[in-house]
Structure 1
Amino acid sequence: MFSETAAHEYLSRFQALARELQINLVPGTLSQLHPTATNGLPLVNVAYWIDRTGTILGSYVKKNLWHPERVRYAKGPAPHAVFETEFGRTAFLICWDVMFAEPFRILSSLDVDLIVVPSYWLGNDGDGQPHNPDSEREFLRHALPTRAFEAGAAVIYVNVGGDPEAGYIGMSQVALPLVGVKDNIVLGPTDPPCVVDLGPNWKQVLADAERVYKIRADRAGDEWHY
């Protein structure tokens, strides 16, 4: 996460990098000046998808704010949405959004294939409770595959890494319905950066999950009443 208000300068650099390396790039999130701040909250937290040509294909302003963020950040006003990439129908969520099933269900109703979740989630975020010092890791271990099953989509969760003594827990992972955490890959706080391949048949996994569970069909039916 870049806590810089000169976000457009960084964004243009990342666009140039994606173009140079011919890669799709999600550069974490950028803190930007709120374009129409009227409530004293000067910033918004934004994720961008940059394609191989350096073109921005989609963006998302974080909607669910962790309570310490609310003194500086404004909530994203736009509805959750999908955008097209070479991987299919793609969407962003950011960090604390993972706590809530609703955004995943909304994206599922939009036939999303891939949900990318940049995150800055520390192990000491739950300080002050005496029940389980490992509570944040425990949540992330279970929530991401659950959200993938609920949404019928691939979920790529990318968390910040760093010194465990400073609270960094990693837990970056790729989750798929039916599969769970892909190949049991759960990156730790000191793991080197790596690229995780979804595999050639990940879209078939999504199709098989819907065939088996029919979650999207059920939600679209007249009998769905929640």
Structure 2
Amino acid sequence: MTAFVLAGAQYAPRIGEVAANIDLSEHWIREAAAAGARLVVLPEAASAGYVFDDRAEAERYAEPFPGGSVHRAWSALAAELGLWIVGGVTERAGERLYNSAVLVGPHGHAGTYRKAHLWNDEQRIYDRQDDGLPVFSTPLGEIAVGICYDAWFPETFRSAALAGADLLALPANWVPVPGQPDTVPVMADMLCMTGAHSNQMYVAGISRTGTERGQEFIGRSLIAGPEGWPLAGPAGPVADELLLAEVDLIGSRPARHHNPFNQPLADRRTDLYRSGPLARP
């Protein structure tokens, strides 16, 4: 039996309060474990908050991973509870500074992903990564990691799927999109659902709540199945909430990869597609 419970914890980290954020994350990780979860996804920037004034302020709260207090706390929890954690961290790597998300398992640090697509002020605070879009092998399945704005690029989902990912875990700090109609799901949820459907994989987009230094966050966390439909969520816009969904990353592979009607990965026409850079205005 390869099915397990996947959890997403939607809550509001506190800017610059690393110790308090460790306590907050521990609360939600233990809540998820009590509900039977084997994998818990936390929001983006869960370690230190998000709306920094500048790079210098972000550096004050950044930690190496592995090696810092967040690493020690999450590793201890994963070992004690026998589960896996994906969570956003403000990472210091030598002289470089990243908006990162890490994967921690019962045996410790299993992988780090550094945000590829930097949004707004992130471009003046964080360094750009050149590590690519890795997929991490676990007993639960093949897990890729993205962060928030990465979901606005179909290449994020497609690159993960082509590398064999069963799940894209997407810690996020989603904000309001101008002009969003009340009659349709929020843009982030539509992107996650579409990415899941067109790449035949699970997607867990787990955002935060609250307002930080005047920036509103919209919650609306979502776990989508490989057909694109929600398995849990969307969560509300305000309340802290734990999403739970039973998933089967490994056992679902035959059905996902051998759909008799369509196979969006196998049916691609790479001979027709164009690729290349487009200058940023």
2:84 maps to which of 24, 31, 38: 24
Which of 98, 106, 125 does residue 44 from structure 1 map onto?
98
What amino acid does structure 2 have at the position aligned with 1:162? G
What is the aligned partner in structure 2 of residue 62 from structure 1?
A: 115
Equivalent residue number for residue 224 of structure 2? 175
Q: 1:103 to 1:200 in 2, by over 3 A?
A: closer
CA contact (8 A) 2:170 2:203 kept: yes
Give runs of aligned pairs for residues 141-220 of structure 1, distance below 5 A. Answer: 141-162=189-210, 167-182=216-231, 185-200=233-248, 203-204=251-252, 207-208=255-256, 210-211=258-259, 212-219=261-268
Q: Which residue of 2 aligns with 1:10?
A: 70
More displaced, 206-215 or 110-119? Answer: 206-215
Question: Do the aligned partners of residues 224 and 84 (structure 1) sit closer, same or farther apart at CA in structure 2, a change above 3 Å counting?
Answer: farther
AA at the equivalent of 2:204:
I
CA separation in 2, counterparts of 1:209 and 1:177?
Answer: 10
Q: Larger deviation: 196-205 or 84-93?
A: 196-205
Distance 1:159 1:202, change over 3 A: farther
Which deviates the most, 95-104 or 4-13?
Answer: 4-13
- Report what 2:130 is aligned to: 77
Structure 1 residues 122 and 179, CA gap change in structure 2 (3 angstroms): closer
Partner of 2:161: 108
Q: Which amino acid aligns with 2:252?
A: Q
Q: CA deviation at 1:162?
A: 2.8
Residue type matched to 1:50 in 2?
V
Distance 2:150 2:207 in 1: 13
**Residue 154 of structure 1, CA deviation:** 0.3
Amino acid of the structure 2 residue aligned with 1:5: A
Q: CA deviation at 1:222?
A: 6.5
Q: What is the rounded CA distance, in whole Å, between the counterparts of 2:130 and 2:183 in structure 1?
A: 30
Aligned pair in 2 of structure 1 residues 188, 166: CA closer, same or farther (>3 Å)? Answer: farther
Distance 2:124 2:258 in 1: 41
Q: 2: distance between equivalents of 1:117 and 1:139?
A: 15
- 1:122: how far off? 2.1
Sequence identity, in percent? 24
C-alpha displacement of 1:224: 5.6
Say which SS state the counterpart of residue 120 (structure 1) adopts. Answer: coil
Q: Which has the higher contact order (CA 8 A, sep 6+)?
A: 2
Relative distance call for 1:17 and 1:179 in structure 2 (3 A) is: same
Deviation at residue 25 of structure 1 after TM alignment: 1.4
Partner of 1:40: none
Under a length normalisation based on structure 2, what TM-score does the superposition of the two structures give?
Answer: 0.66
- Aligned-partner residue type, residue 33 of structure 1: R
**CA RMSD in angstroms, aligned pairs only:** 2.9
CA displacement, residues 138-186 of structure 1 (integer Å, 9 cap, x when unaligned): 21131110010122110011101236x9623111111123251115x21
Question: Whole-Å Cα distance in 2 between the matches of residues 225 and 189 of structure 1?
Answer: 38
Structure 2 stretches lacking a partner, 5+ long: 1-44, 49-60, 275-281
Which structure is higher in helix share? 1
